[in-house]
Amino acid sequence: MTLKATGVVPGIPDMICLYNGKPVGIEFKTNAGRTSPAQEQVHQVWQGAGIEVYLVRDETTFQQLIKTILS
């Protein structure tokens, strides 16, 4: 509830970056972590609108993704 009071919307990816002028969503999870129904719904809507959403489970994957976004 504390995050909701600060304006956080359920399901929105943890990080949003711009890649070639388009938003890219990045969701961080542990190896055992699962996306919530709200996250799955938002990811589907975003992907349907042509916005890429990535699920990142480790630092190496994150570094590779950021390198791709920045290049």
- In order of their start, the domains of the chain are 2-70 (3.40.1350.10)
Please tell me the predicted confidence (pLDDT) of residue 24. 93
**Block residue for tokens 């919307």:** 9
Return d(Cα 64, Cα 71) in angstroms, integer: 11
* pTM (2 d.p.): 0.83
E strands in 6-51: 15-19, 22-28
pLDDT in tens, the chain (71 residues): 566 677 778 899 999 988 788 899 999 999 999 999 999 999 999 999 999 999 999 999 999 999 987 77
CB-based contact 36:11 (threshold 8 Å): yes
Hey, CA dihedral for 2, 14, 34, 21, is it positive or negative? positive
